[in-house]
Amino acid sequence: MTTVARRKTPKAGRAASDRRAARPGSGPPGEPGRIGWLYALPALLVYGAFLLWPLARGAQFSLYHWDGLGEATWAGLSNYTATWTDPSLRGAFGHLLVLIVFYSVLPCCIAFVLVAAMSRTKIRGLTFFRTVLFLPQVVAMVAVAVAWRWVYSADGPVNTVLGWLHAIGLPDWRHGWFGDFTFALPAVGVVGTWVGIGLAMVLFLAGVQKIPRELYEAARIDGAGAVREFFAVTLPGLRRELAVALTLTSIMAIRNFDLIYMATSGGPGDATKVPAYEVYNRTFNTGEVGLGCAIGVTLAVLAFAVTAGIRRLVEGKDA
């Protein structure tokens, strides 16, 4: 979850700078000129040395074959080609796409239902529900992984419930979830859904409160039911929040290292390998540092593209 909010903000920044541009002549107080740089310098130094510099070094490493121990040899772009030609890496990026559905699309859908439930009628204990539903966001992913390993274990709650269902005549749906080739990836995905719901819900809840009540009243006078009301009023009103929620949760899916490392290590077979895990695995387990860096750089580009892409998708309609 570390990830989540660190990267949530581009939109607000854009809004703020637009405002500034729209307000010419409001000159700043205080000493003008270079003192601004002086204030920004400490942050810039740390940021440059420990974020931008490693990023550049990562890009440099990605152009070499290197086992991390001995000498490196020039590789050109072959590490990047390998991310597409190596079947297990291609698989990892494929898994990422599946996980984005679970981490991003599903939580948003569920959050819409929850927000509808919260806003259509008066709810007792709204704060309580909000606090509880958001809770998975603040628990360390490492602890989340430990908890879900138990949830999915052979005699854990999921299999127990499925056992009851089997006892009353339904087929036997029990599985060793994290060790099953078909179900391990969705099982990981469900954990992501579980974590993401709270974030999406809180975003939508704030957005809904900004939608003018008259729109809802008008819709009701027109005889709109809950469903039509949602598509006619709520969804258009939440477009902006939806974009933010999709961005944040997609980036969570991209940065899915902790859970995979703790819960499945990419197994069974390669079934839950994801790029974030492969960065670590290739670098430190199999000694392909250049390839690990190439995956890392690809992930950074992907994260940037998702942020920019979703924003454009949603805001494009305004233009």
Partner 1 sequence: MPTLTRRGAAAAAAALATVLAAACAPGSSGDEPESKAPAAVSTDVAKAGNVTLTVWDQEVQGGQKKQIEELNKRFQAKYPNVKIKRVSRSFSDLQKTLRLALSGSTPPDVVEANQGYASMVQYVKAGMLLPLDSYDKVYGWSKRYPKGLMDLNRVTKGGKLMGSGDLYGVSLNGEIVGLYYNKEKLAKLGVQPPKTWAEFDQALATAKGKGEVPIAFGNLEKLPAMQLYGILQDGMTDKEAVRKLVFGSGGSWTDASNVQAAQKLADWSKKGYFTKDSNAVKWDDTPVNFAKGDGVFMFGGTWWAAELSEKMKDKAGFMLPPAAQAGAPAATMGGESLPWSITSKSKHADVAAAYINFITSPEAMDVSVETGNLPVLAASKQPSEALLKEVSGAWAELSKNDGVTPYIDYATPTFTDAFGGPLQELIAGRKPADEVMKAAQDDYTAFQKKK
Partner 2 sequence: MNARAERFLNHAILALFAVIAVFPMIGIVAQAIQLPHADFSAFGTAWREGHFAAYLRNSVIVTAVTVVVAAVFSIMAGYALGTMRFRGSAALFLLFLAGLTIPTEAIVVPLYFDLRSAGLDNSYAGLILPQVAMSVAFGTFWMRAYFRSVPRSLLEAARIDGASSWTTLWRVLVPIGRPAILTMLLLTTMWTWNEFLLPLVIINSDEGLRTAPLGLSFFQGSHKTDYSLLMAGALIIAAPVVIVYVFLQRQFIAGMLSGAVKE
Q: Is residue 267 within the footprint of partner 1 (CB under 8 A)?
A: yes
Q: Is residue 257 within the footprint of partner 1 (CB under 8 A)?
A: no
Q: Is residue 315 within the footprint of partner 1 (CB under 8 A)?
A: no
How near is the Cβ of 155 to partner 1 at its closest, in Å? Answer: 11
Are 117 and 208 within 8 A, CB to CB? no
74: phi then psi, degrees, rounded to nearest 5: -60, 135
Q: Is residue 319 within the footprint of partner 1 (CB under 8 A)?
A: no
Q: How far is CA 150 from the centre of its chain?
A: 23
Give the chain's length: 319
How near is the Cβ of 265 to partner 2 at its closest, in Å? Answer: 11
Whichever of 19 and 213 has its CB closer to partner 2, that residue is 19
Indicate which of partner 1, partner 2, none lies near residue 97 (CB less than 5 to 8 Å, by partner kind). Answer: none
Q: Which stretch binds partner 1 (CB under 8 A): 69-77, 123-131, 228-236, 251-259?
A: 69-77
Cβ-proximal residues to 255 (8 Å cutoff; 6+ apart), any chain: 2, 3, 276, 299, 303
How near is the Cβ of 153 to partner 1 at its closest, in Å? Answer: 8
User: x/- contact string, 167-206, with partner 1 (CB under 8 A)?
Assistant: --------xxxxxxx-------------------------
How near is the Cβ of 170 to partner 1 at its closest, in Å? Answer: 18
Q: Is residue 305 within the footprint of partner 1 (CB under 8 A)?
A: no
Q: Is residue 284 within the footprint of partner 1 (CB under 8 A)?
A: yes
Are 242 and 312 within 8 A, CB to CB? no
- Among 226, 42, 17, CA closest to 117: 226
Whichever of 255 and 273 has its CB closer to partner 1, that residue is 273
- Among 273, 227, 259, 279, CA closest to 61: 279
Indicate which of partner 2, partner 1, none lies near residue 91 (CB less than 5 to 8 Å, by partner kind). Answer: none
Indicate which of partner 2, partner 1, none lies near residue 269 (CB less than 5 to 8 Å, by partner kind). Answer: partner 1
With vertex at residue 133, the alpha carbon angle to CA 129 and CA 139, rounded to the nearest 5 degrees, is 135
Are 297 and 62 within 8 A, CB to CB? yes
Binder to partner 1 among 251, 289, 291, 299 (CB under 8 A)? 289
Whichever of 169 and 317 has its CB closer to partner 2, that residue is 317
Whichever of 13 and 169 has its CB closer to partner 2, that residue is 13
* HSE-CB of 26 using CA atoms within 13 angstroms: 6
64: phi then psi, degrees, rounded to nearest 5: -125, 155
Indicate which of partner 2, partner 1, none lies near residue 77 (CB less than 5 to 8 Å, by partner kind). Answer: none
- Token pair recorded at residue 294: 């190439």
Q: Is residue 9 within the footprint of partner 1 (CB under 8 A)?
A: no
65: phi then psi, degrees, rounded to nearest 5: -90, 125
Beta bridge partners of 65: 73
Q: Is residue 41 within the footprint of partner 1 (CB under 8 A)?
A: no
How near is the Cβ of 285 to partner 1 at its closest, in Å? Answer: 7
Cβ-proximal residues to 204 (8 Å cutoff; 6+ apart), any chain: 111, 112, 115, 238, 241, 242, 245
List residues near partner 1 by CB under 8 A. Answer: 17, 21, 56-57, 59-61, 64, 66-72, 74, 88, 152, 154, 175-181, 265, 267-270, 284-287, 289
